[in-house]
Structure 1
Amino acid sequence: MPDPRGKGQMSPKEEAPGTGGDRSRDADVRMVSSTSKGFCSVRHGLALILQFCNFTLCTQNMNLSIALPAMVNSSVLPCPANGSDARDTCNETLPGFWAADPVYDWSPDLQGVILSALNCGSFLASIPCGYVAGLFAAKQLIGASLCVSSVVNLLIPHAADAGAALLIVLRVVQGVAQIIVMTSQYEIWLKWAPPLERNQLIIFSISGSALGACSVVLAGGFLCETLGWPSVFYVSGGIGCACVCLWFPLVYDDPEYHPFISARERDYIVCSLALQDRVPYRSLPMKAMLKSLPLWSILVSHFSVWWYISVITAYLPTYLHSVLAVSLSDSGFLSALMLGAIFVCTILGGLLADVLFSRKVLSLLVIRRLFTAIGVLFSSLFSVSLSWVSDSFSISIAFLVLSLAASSFCQVGSLVNFMDIAPRYSGFLKGLSLVFTNLSGVIAPTVSGFFISQDTESGWRNIFLLSAAINLPGLVFFLVLSRADEQEWAKDQMLTRL
């Protein structure tokens, strides 16, 4: 079994034949990479499994929003209790196989608390879970947390029967488990993603969230109408359990110990990352982080970019129905279409970024700034223009799709920049950035709801103008202060105790 690398050095046995000790690492990488690149590799299989994990998390995150209207639908009349024949006749008139599923008398305020419980758990646990992600093996953390989230999802229909309080507690637990998965997955790429492929591997894996959102919007309502609302939780929970069954036997923290990886691919990854090995940390350079302007540029960009995304996520069906007069049945299809556009453009953005970087067309810093600028400027332009093209249905839909597609390019820009400036603390910084993301996700829908309540037409115009007004300063801040090289405080020798 190969010896672990504590200092990022290769043993003679692992050097490619004929290279010798006087050859540079760059020569080793070039020699091995010619036969190691391609999509039929273990590292791309790992990206596919992580995409499946993110797909699962997103379906489990959104399924309650899809099922809640059926869970509180008071229009379903109770069956008479004066005989089995009458009960059978009543059940035949109700839609769906699970026609007798319970309906709960939850007030709108209580529904809001239930829906926000998962986000509350995520918000409170973001920083602690990000810290923990750097201390323990990512494989065990992700597998265990995904298992917890999936089991909790299977228990939600039974928890609803027991009472709203238990349901809220389970959703908080589920939010904590999902945050551990979201922060820990970046730790895996520190040993699996060659620098020239990091963009495409990370972006491909996180694109599962958009694919999951698209799938649950399309299939959630159909499941509620045909099999009953509990089926939404059983299906997404079952998918999560299947993902866990794939995760533990197929995923390894280090490519050196993977039983199925080829020698060429292993050597390519190890040579590429020979100088980037990470020693687990026990404390954080908090003072240096607080003074780091490149880090602050990333955090501010997370808040500003997610403002518009949070508004669209929360109010897209409302906009389609109230402004564009789209029926509720068609709005689900159109919402899925737009989420599908985000999925496709996210993957294409990652591939394009790696092509530009590997061929030395653009530096990594220019790529981060350029993709962020494209995402912010074009999404702001198309969203603000919606107020002046609302009379044309086709143009409005086209502008919505283009604005969301453009915003996905930020995934290759500022939203992944923390991996460049401090790879050693990637899990913690992802958790820290999620605090700003969730903060934006709380404030933006609240402010937007206030605008809509005043006047629908002018309200949406103000919403889009405010989104642009928040996005553009955030972009300027990122363009001026962002960096793409590892910061001094993020290196091992700069570690300071709290």
Structure 2
Amino acid sequence: MATMVELSPTGEQNDYVLGKPADKKTPPQRVPGLCSVRYGIAFITHFCNFTLLAQNAIISITMVAMVNSTDHAPHLNGSSEELPAGLNGAKHEEASKHLSVKAPVYNWSPQTQGIIFSSVQYGMVLMQGPGGYLAGKIGTKKLVGIALIGSSLLTLCIPLAANLGLAYLLATRAIQGLTQGTGYGGQLALWQRWAPPNERGRLCSIALSGMILGIFTVLLVGGIISNSLGWPFVFYIFGGIGVVCWILWLILVYDDPVSHPWISDPEKEYILSSLDHQNGFLSSLPFLVAWTIGILGGQLADFLLSKNFSVVTVRKTVTTLGTIPPATLVVALPYVRSSFITTVTFLTLACGICPLSQPGVYINALDIAPRYASFLMGTSRGFAHSSAVLVPIVGGFFLNQDSEFGWRNFFFLSFAISLFGLILFLVFGKADVQEWAKERKVTRL
């Protein structure tokens, strides 16, 4: 194994020769960068997040095809001018049967579509907190591996579940949400052991940016696959991708550098010497609080509705409660840094209170456009996940500019963005079905 003297800069070697022992806490400098095990794990985690978010968002684009009945004769206008060329009489009947076999169509109301889309979210909310805790107990590799293969197999089963009935589909989606929530909450523990403090921004950005790419890819190619092969193949393709990702995860990812069989000694020593060991319970505590408050937030919203508050008032009230207190607590962090307990409390509450917005702006698409709720919610969630990529980059920029007050300035920027978004929702937010989203009655000829 290489010694610290061999891996230290020239200045440190000279100090050692002069009788001054090298600082053992100084990480070695000559270690692989981009072509290293830790970056490889970041790219595999990127692929993992790509898979989970893509599988979560598939139904946002396939729902249109799953309920679209314009390809079937009973739903077409009687005029022959409305029929595609060559689809008259027996040919049209034969083509309709072929399309029905290739891509079944279901008679789901807009309300049912909204329930189908949201069924996966409950499990995600429930398991992100426990997922972070379980990762510290059984290991990130096992936990995220189970989540990945579980979500992928359930994705492959969704077309079958839809054919069996609505209850089977809802159950499949709900269980899939549990697996995906476990994967999201559990993977952050990986960087506690793999990411040196000065590289956490880069490594986490690489890993988390897979979420955005997953949403983008599904929205880009999902429609093409639905039109050419039928909507079930969107689930089959991305489910298969998930299985491949799971295999790579099992082979290449390990919980820490010590247990990894192929990591070089210099890189292992570099990572281990630069890490400060964190408490797994403290890391998972915000997710546990968020899980609890998220459930209570839904109860609060329904309670206010039962007291004859208008829907728009309830949506804006809970959104405000889930936005202003967390942003204020984050801004206050630089001023309480002398107290460890107060800092941890503020961080925990700031993360935990945010889910109060879930029964507010999060589900507002169901109020204003039930027909397009799945697409709107999927797209908005994809846009929101861009923060996972931007935050580490912007945070690193602020710290480079001012190491003493960088965090304070970054927190103020976060507060301003949160306040700006809230003001937009309070001013322009609606809770009634918009004209462009209302169903139009088709007059038959």
Corresponding residue number in structure 2 for 1:141: 143
Matched, 1:77 2:72: yes
Corresponding residue number in structure 1 for 2:192: 190
Q: 1:358 to 1:215 in 2, by over 3 A?
A: same
Contact 1:196 1:357 in 2 (8 A): no
The structure number with the bigger radius of gyration is: 2
**Gapped regions of structure 1 (runs ≥ 5):** 1-11, 80-84, 322-330, 388-447, 457-498
RMSD of aligned alpha carbons:
4.3
Summarize the alignment of residues 15-30 of structure 1 with structure 2, pairs less than 5 Å apart: 15-17=4-6, 22-26=21-25, 28-29=26-27
Contact 1:125 1:176 in 2 (8 A): yes
Task: Spell out, residue by residue over 1:210-250, the C-alpha distance to the aligned partner (whole angstroms, 9 max, x if none).
Answer: 11111111111121111111111111111111111111111
Corresponding residue number in structure 2 for 1:351: 393
Could you tell me which amino acid in structure 2 is paired with residue 63 of structure 1?
I
1:306 is displaced (CA, Å) by 11
Corresponding residue number in structure 2 for 1:297: 350
TM-score normalised by L of structure 2: 0.66
Contact 1:71 1:102 in 2 (8 A): yes
1:118 to 114, 117, 120: 120
**CA–CA distance in structure 2, aligned partners of residues 346 and 277 of structure 1:** 21
Task: Spell out, residue by residue over 1:272-310, the C-alpha distance to the aligned partner (whole angstroms, 9 max, x if none).
Answer: 01x4265789x98999899923321333356569976x4
1:57 to 52, 75, 83: 52
Q: 1:337 to 1:170 in 2, by over 3 A?
A: closer
Could you tell me which amino acid in structure 2 is paired with residue 369 of structure 1?
F
Contact 1:52 1:243 in 2 (8 A): yes
**CA–CA distance in structure 1, aligned partners of residues 111 and 422 of structure 2:** 33
Could you tell me which amino acid in structure 2 is paired with residue 354 of structure 1?
G
Contact 1:204 1:350 in 2 (8 A): no
1:366 to 408, 432, 445: 408
**CA–CA distance in structure 1, aligned partners of residues 400 and 23 of structure 2:** 19
Corresponding residue number in structure 2 for 1:39: 34
Corresponding residue number in structure 2 for 1:159: 161
Corresponding residue number in structure 2 for 1:200: 202
**CA–CA distance in structure 2, aligned partners of residues 169 and 337 of structure 1:** 24
State the identity %. 32
Summarize the alignment of residues 70-469 of structure 1 with structure 2, pairs less than 5 Å apart: 70-77=65-72, 90-92=93-95, 100-273=102-275, 275-276=276-277, 278=279, 292-301=345-354, 310=362, 314=365, 343=386, 347=389, 349-354=391-396, 356-357=398-399, 361-362=403-404, 365-366=407-408, 368-373=410-415, 375-376=417-418, 451-453=431-433
Contact 2:128 2:184 in 1 (8 A): no
SS at match of 1:203: helix
Contact 1:99 1:228 in 2 (8 A): no
1:200 is displaced (CA, Å) by 2.4
1:208 is displaced (CA, Å) by 1.4
Contact 2:71 2:96 in 1 (8 A): no
Could you tell me which amino acid in structure 2 is paired with residue 23 of structure 1?
A
Contact 1:353 1:367 in 2 (8 A): no
SS at match of 2:137: coil
Worse-superposed segment, 248-257 or 259-268 = 259-268
**CA–CA distance in structure 2, aligned partners of residues 140 and 216 of structure 1:** 27
Task: Spell out, residue by residue over 1:294-336, the C-alpha distance to the aligned partner (whole angstroms, 9 max, x if none).
Answer: 321333356569976x479x58x97xx9xxxxxxxxx99xx98
SS at match of 1:173: helix
**Gapped regions of structure 2 (runs ≥ 5):** 7-12, 75-87, 290-340, 437-445
1:125 is displaced (CA, Å) by 3.1
Contact 1:95 1:226 in 2 (8 A): no
Could you tell me which amino acid in structure 2 is paired with residue 115 of structure 1?
F
Contact 2:398 2:410 in 1 (8 A): no
SS at match of 2:108: coil
1:168 is displaced (CA, Å) by 0.8
**CA–CA distance in structure 2, aligned partners of residues 338 and 125 of structure 1:** 18
Contact 2:140 2:186 in 1 (8 A): yes
Contact 1:55 1:212 in 2 (8 A): yes
1:69 is displaced (CA, Å) by 1.8
Could you tell me which amino acid in structure 1 is paired with residue 345 of structure 2?
S
Contact 1:56 1:240 in 2 (8 A): yes
**CA–CA distance in structure 1, aligned partners of residues 114 and 108 of structure 2:** 10
TM-score normalised by L of structure 1: 0.60
